[in-house]
Chain A
Amino acid sequence: AQSVTQPDIHITVSEGASLELRCNYSYGATPYLFWYVQSPGQGLQLLLKYFSGDTLVQGIKGFEAEFKRSQSSFNLRKPSVHWSDAAEYFCAVGSYGNKLVFGAGTILRVKS
């Protein structure tokens, strides 16, 4: 069965510092991969997605992610974090029946 692992429950970074959020997936075929962000009390906003092609994907708000098949990873990165990036981030993989399987989420805290 498909699964997604986000090993970091919480991450704290200083404003202006770089960020990397980890995501590992388990999926038999070529995966469809997504990163979503959720602010408190809000729905999910799509940051970026990978379907095929270039393994480095650019998203909104300055985020990017790199698909590495050999490592079954899809880590999210941002070169310089802003205080407004504080939120919870979810990695997800597309599954059968057009479903999404989500990781447990990583809460990002930004300190000034």
Chain B
Amino acid sequence: GAVVSQHPSRVICKSGTSVKIECRSLDFQATTMFWYRQFPKQSLMLMATSNEGSKATYEQGVEKDKFLINHASLTLSTLTVTSAHPEDSSFYICSAGGADFSGSGEQFFGPGTRLTVL
């Protein structure tokens, strides 16, 4: 159980376009979803936390107008990278935590999305 999927797994886009990444919890209700960014050979950097039906909470230094997060249902969160530029190229990973996991920090991770902006 506790499977999280991400789509697409890879995306290549031109500079200036917007890209949407979907994160779905397949077999549980994710009250909270997290979006991370990972640069090569580095650890995960938390970008934002989203709770179903409310606005996302962004970490310091993350541009909320550039990285739009929507968590419209208990099984789906989306990250939209607006007006993408080459420096936005990275590996984006989502994770989900449900009501059963609240307080512990336990999260289940998606497989990641490799974004390349040309």
Contact of B104 with A90 in the complex, beta carbons under 8 Å: no
Question: What is the CB-to-nearest-CB distance from B59 to chain A, in angstroms, rounded to a whole number?
Answer: 9
A63 interface residue (CB < 8 Å to B): no
Residues of A within 8 A of B111 (CB): 42-43
If A98-B97, A98-B101 touch, does A49 touch B44 (CB 8 Å cutoff)?
Answer: no
Residues of B within 8 A of A32 (CB): 104-106
Size of the A side of the interface (Cβ < 8 Å), in residues, is 24
Contact of A44 with B104 in the complex, beta carbons under 8 Å: no
- Give the dominant DSSP class at B's interface: strand
When A and B form their complex, what is the total count of cross-chain residue pairs whose Cβ atoms lie within 8 Å? 65
B residues in contact (CB < 8 Å) with A = 4, 6, 32, 34, 42-44, 46, 49, 57, 91, 93, 95, 97, 101-112, 114
A sample of 18 more A-B contacts (CB under 8 A), given A43-B112, A94-B103, is: A32-B106, A34-B105, A41-B91, A43-B4, A44-B44, A46-B108, A90-B43, A94-B105, A95-B105, A97-B57, A98-B32, A98-B49, A98-B101, A99-B34, A99-B105, A100-B95, A104-B43, A105-B43
